[in-house]
Structure 1
Amino acid sequence: MDYSLGVRLAAEFIGTAIMVILGNGSVANVDLKGTKGNGSDWMLIAVGYGCGVLIPALMFGSISGNHINPAFTIGLAVSGLFPWSEVLPYILVQFAGAIVGQLLVVAAYKPHYDMTTNTQHVLGTFATINATKSKFNGFVNEFLGTYILTLGAFGITHAPFFAHNAGTANFGVGFLVAVLVASLGGPTGPALNPARDLGPRLVHAFLPLKHKGSSDWGYSWVPVLAPICAGICGIATYKFFFL
């Protein structure tokens, strides 16, 4: 079934919002003071992000393609697999969804934001931070992670093995994201998605949080540019060898 652009944009908006709520919500549960999950390990965050991609994929994969990531949208367009005329609308609603999703995370955890005095923990529930304050390391990490994400997600959803079972393919994509967070999340988070990082970082910059600290704008270009470059390369790699 073919869906109108408006319907597909609604799916991208809602899907991106859900991804941020489940993903950054899991970070908030681990890092903010006084939560039931405070002090839990990294695997809770990996599961949160994995399901944050899986649930929208099951809901909207057959409607909008469930890009929920500008790096994926741009990568498809560069390889001639998505119309350029729809790139900007997709990206705009992805960013809008990320912003709304982050606002809902803050609403859900507001008392715990007020209790948390560690400004790095607060920022980490919005956007990524390089653990060693290295832009070069951050770029390498985000590029590698997003390259595997886009190559893997496109490969899984187009694999002949899943041709008649798209639901199982979506579970594979969710598992891929969870593993990427578990295995490559140490240096940066990671973002793997410009909207997931920049949208919430804007929210962090403008909200009057009690213990906000810096939004780290000097680093902010890394989780935007690196995923876009990697998305272009990841999709192009799969197209070159397998399509």
Structure 2
Amino acid sequence: MSTVLKTFVAYLKRPPLYPELGRKIIKNTFNRRSPSKGKARANFWAASIAVSQEEVISRLFSSNADHFRSAYADILQKAGVKEKECPVKMGEHGALELIYYACEFTKAQNVLETGVAYGWSSLAILLSLQKRNGTLYSSDMPFLAQNGDQYAGCVVPDHLKKYWKLFRFADRESLPKIFKQASSFDVFHYDSDKSYHGRMWAYHQIYKKLRPGGVFISDDIGDNSAYQDFCNRMNISTCVVEYNGKYIGIFVKEYIPLIRAK
């Protein structure tokens, strides 16, 4: 059975995911170019201002990125074993130090992320939240074609899961449910719908819920110009991190400008 057919059948078995199925049909039929809208422009812009993860952590959070790996070496090693044992391929992990120190900087109590996969970003967030008995709210679509529902967040150790609430829907269904449980957030990490319109919708929804002084992070901003356009429209000054050949956008809401999007 082809991947497309497997995915379609999996959607049919899950009525709560029907709204997302409808959106995907419309997108793939009428709006196929949107995922890469402005990609060349976005990459040129990101490359022109990108710096290292270590520099941004030092500049924004006045922290040393090296401490994270040494402090949690055992947990990270065990998480790596869990990833290797997972039979489902779900992509590479992102800039864990950047995410962790964003939570430390804000003394986060409520954090929101979209996109979980193995759960590496979730792990970084939870390692910080456990210190303050905080809560991570995650929106994550099941890996339908791979029958990978049970592996979402597989690298997160059991003792951290009491600080975690996982919503297994598309963002447009998950976020309203999450907003009923938490009215504001200290940190937001975006790593879900890669399309231009999907990003723009989520960015605006979540920005309104991010408290002043909160940290906004978006992975893979070179996929299209959504992040650049959002920062321009909202008059936001942002930093860009180059990490493993990709670009991550990060800013502190209502913070003194460091680098302006152009």
- TM-score normalised according to structure 2 size: 0.23
Between Structure 1 and Structure 2, which shows a larger proportion of strand residues?
2
Structure scoring higher RCO (CA < 8 A, sep ≥ 6) equals: 1
Between Structure 1 and Structure 2, which shows a larger proportion of helix residues?
1
